[in-house]
Structure 1
Amino acid sequence: MSEIQINTTQNVNINFTQAAVGERVVAHVIDLVIKIVYCVLIVLFFHSLVEDSESYYSLDGWSKTAIYIMILFPALIYTLVLESLWEGQTIGKKIVKIKVVKIDGYQATFVDYIIRWFFRIVDLNMLSGFVALIAIIMSEKAQRLGGMSSGTAVISQKQKVRISHTIMEEIGVDYKPQFPSVIQLSDNDMRIVKETFVIAKKGKDVDTLNKLRAKVEQVMEVKSDKETIPFINIVIKDFNFYTQNM
């Protein structure tokens, strides 16, 4: 699978695996089935309620259409609501383990999800999704038109996760922390720090390591005389010490 490079808010690059076209199609089909099942069930239920209702059958066509729009509206906004609540995922995306992310490193906003949802009319509903398929294949970051317009992309979450890939770090029971101000970092800050640190250290990217160190020192309001790699190692361990004992 191809990779997508995302520039984080700390001005460092992290590579993620792009969601494959097949994964996105499967997620879309799962979500589509869920919406169809909902529509069928809610219409059958509604008909059972109004089966003997003279007032309903006396309504004009516009009124009946308005009622159907109201009861089917949840299916219409299904993707928008779930992606907003679940940080870029729907039920289909959760099952397939893919999610929507911003390519500039920031958290996607409700406006971003609205843009993606609005462009579904062109991307997925016109020509049976052919427009979206062509856009994904031709785009450098595998984006459909909605992704290009909102600055978002879809990544895979299927990487094997070990403790070294999370913010968790093994520390001994007698560990002594050195930087109390590390608690100024949030869980998300530490996740970015550790992901960047692991990638930069593996690639021997000294420039990125130095930028990361400078940013960490700035946020923590400390200045250390330790070498960069040992310093960041200690910061990660200290963070785990304080968060595990709070």
Structure 2
Amino acid sequence: MKTISIRTSQNVTIDYELPSTFQRIIAWLVDLVLLSATIGILTLLFYWMLAIMGWSSIIETLFMYLVLVPIWFFYSLFCEIMFNGQSVGKRAMGIRVVKLNGDIPSLSDYFMRWAFRMVDIMFSFGSLAVILITGTEKGQRLGDILAGTTVIKVKSTQHVNMKELLNIRSFRNYEPTYERVTVFSEEDMLAIKTILNRSSRFPNQKDTYKLLQKTAVSAAKKMDISVEKFTSPQQTKQFLHTVLQDYIVLTR
């Protein structure tokens, strides 16, 4: 199982699983089946109306080049732009396009991925895409390499959502310690929870304590709290747990 570390805009590193080549092929096949079915249905409806209305061959040509061709060629580009890096097939397989630097992919990034589908998939019958995705460390086909993107599993082993966060424990009669935690966003809290999960799963990993300490110091500075208290992993983890609990109590 390949993983990739992506640094978020909050300067926090989160590990994501990379989908297998097989999963990406299945996502592509789901899109292909959906696209073929859509074009087939539209074509049947058009010719049914053509027979009824008696339209000329010019209308048939216009329909092909103004409706069918754009749908076929621009489907993946449109979906990834509109649905945050996912097509129907990618959503079905639980995968998504992301930037390696943690930013949200731009229109030019999606366009670059789409433009090189011709080389990656169509001209090489998918062989180049399979070779690159399988052989590169970050699971990138040519379009991904040029756009600085890759495809990750949306539900990774390090992923948590706000519902899980709110159910950490019962906070009846709990008194918050840090009232300034309201300066954080839900995304900040999810990042902190992810890092705590990672520290629990990999306590002996080389960079685990550094990541915990860096996160704690950043959170403390944002709340104007002294950072001198973070002298051990246990103190650092306890501080971050308290921040999470305070945030839940004060914002739920």
The amino acid across from 2:214 in the alignment is K
User: Is residue 69 of structure 2 the alignment partner of residue 67 of structure 1?
Assistant: no
User: Is residue 105 of structure 2 the alignment partner of residue 108 of structure 1?
Assistant: yes
Tell me if structure 1 keeps the 8 A contact 2:97–2:149. yes
CA shift digits 1:165-224 (9 cap, x unpaired)? 954332421111122221221111221122123213543522111111121123333336
1:230 is matched with which residue: 216, 222, 238? 238
Tell me which moved more, 233-242 or 82-91: 82-91
Partner residue in 1 for 2:173: 174
Partner residue in 2 for 1:198: 197
The amino acid across from 1:40 in the alignment is G
User: Is residue 143 of structure 2 the alignment partner of residue 140 of structure 1?
Assistant: no
Q: Aligned residues: percent identity? A: 28
Partner residue in 2 for 1:188: 187
Q: Distance in 2 between matches of 1:84 and 1:170?
A: 38
Query: Which secondary structure state, in structure 1, belongs to the residue aligned with residue 122 of structure 2?
Result: coil
Q: Distance in 2 between matches of 1:163 and 1:109?
A: 25
Q: Distance in 1 between matches of 2:78 and 2:215?
A: 35
Tell me which moved more, 20-29 or 87-96: 87-96
Tell me if structure 2 keeps the 8 A contact 1:103–1:153. yes
- 5+ residue gaps, structure 1, are none
Query: Which secondary structure state, in structure 1, belongs to the residue aligned with residue 226 of structure 2?
Result: coil
Tell me which moved more, 1-10 or 158-167: 158-167
Q: Distance in 2 between matches of 1:228 and 1:164?
A: 22
State the aligned residue count: 240
1:77 is matched with which residue: 74, 92, 95? 74
CA shift digits 1:35-73 (9 cap, x unpaired)? 00011111111112222555522x3xxx75443122122
Query: Which secondary structure state, in structure 2, belongs to the residue aligned with residue 236 of structure 1?
Result: helix
Query: Which secondary structure state, in structure 2, belongs to the residue aligned with residue 170 of structure 1?
Result: coil
- 5+ residue gaps, structure 2, are 230-234
The amino acid across from 1:109 in the alignment is S
Partner residue in 2 for 1:209: 212
The amino acid across from 1:114 in the alignment is F
- Indicate the RMSD between aligned Cα atoms, in angstroms: 2.5
Q: Distance in 2 between matches of 1:239 and 1:30?
A: 41
Q: Distance in 2 between matches of 1:20 and 1:199?
A: 22
Q: TM-score by structure 1 length?
A: 0.86
1:232 CA displacement = 0.7
